[in-house]
Amino acid sequence: MAKTGIVRHKKYMEHWMGEYHPESPMRLEAIYAMLDAPDMAGKFSEVALGPADNTDIMRVHSAEYVGRIESTAGVEYTYLDPDTQTCAASYDAAMLAAGGVCRSIAMVHSGELNNAFALVRPPGHHAERSQAKGFCLFNNVAIGARYAKELLGINRILIVDWDLHHGNGTQHTFEEESSVLYFSTHQYPYYPGTGAFDEVGKGKGKGFTVNVPLTIGHGDGEFMTIYQQLLRPIAMEYQPEFILVSAGFDIFCGDPLGGMNVTSKGFAGLTRVIMDIADACCGGKIVFTLEGGYNVLGERDSVKEVLKELAGLAFTSPPDLMALANPEMTNFLLARVKSIQNAYWKNL
């Protein structure tokens, strides 16, 4: 059984954006209860936590922005954008979220853990350098990637983002760099409006952003086909030294904010594809970070399946799931992405 780490802390559940906000503490309450159930308890190593340093945060965010978020500490309610607010505990939770991701990366890199899942709030991939957006305060996965690059000396990092919404903040952080390859599948056109096919990066980073914008209705077979036929060949050519996953569970069938049809078994399959890539390229080194997901029970069950794959408690067959794909949904999509990306990736 693989030694799989988890990041969890009660402080993450103290971040609260209002009675009816979909990004609620109930998301983690359900996941943490699942982890304590008899069939899961004791199977994972808990990562010892501390907050990120301001230096870690400011590798991605401006000093002025970090000060702005810090100023919300202890304040009952602060409005940051139409979707994003803070409470008195939000700053501490956000610092612990980024810290948990960085600590997980360090432990996987050193071999203390085989892989890890940072089950944190608030999420991060929409947060820009100087702006909170889309329920996100600090961009956890981007902070983690910069930490891996600048403190641990990791030169090629793959970020895979399967959240329903495009990770605008993550893309913008790295779009001029070749040391981070960003691959995103997302519902389009939809919030935040970025992530078109032809957004491929800029300057030295051209070709190191791969966007796969999707219409509604894609399920297990279609996602598995995309990841096997697009992500895998690109990743095998790139040869990442570490993989980070922005794991959003709002592509789950029945998510109130989404239009996709992925089941908990589909998430297990996506995890297995990424694990196979990691095994081939970087000794299995992966850290997952929780992003969105607003069907609380669906997210709980899907996170469970991801964790079972990571820990070697289950082995899902990608070909079995690929057989479920509707070719009418995937053929045009694959051809369109390849027509743009084959200028940068000969494996396509």
Question: What are 17's two structure tokens?
Answer: 């954006």
d(CA 58, CA 66): 7
Residue 67 — φ and ψ, nearest 5°?
-65, -35
Are 245 and 219 contacting, i.e. CB atoms less than 8 angstroms apart?
no
Return the DSSP state at 219.
B
Instruction: Note if 21 is an active site residue.
Output: no
Torsion angles phi and psi, residue 219, rounded to 5: -125, -160
> Which are the contacts of 270, defined by CB distance < 8 A and separation ≥ 6?
162, 223, 224, 227, 262
What Cα–Cα distance (Å) separates residue 193 from each residue in 169, 188, 252? 12, 7, 20
* Catalytic residue (choose from 15, 61, 109, 126): 126
Find how far residue 245's CA is from the centre of its chain. Answer: 4
Reference 167, options 130, 206, 210; nearest CA is: 210
Catalytic residues, by residue number, are 126
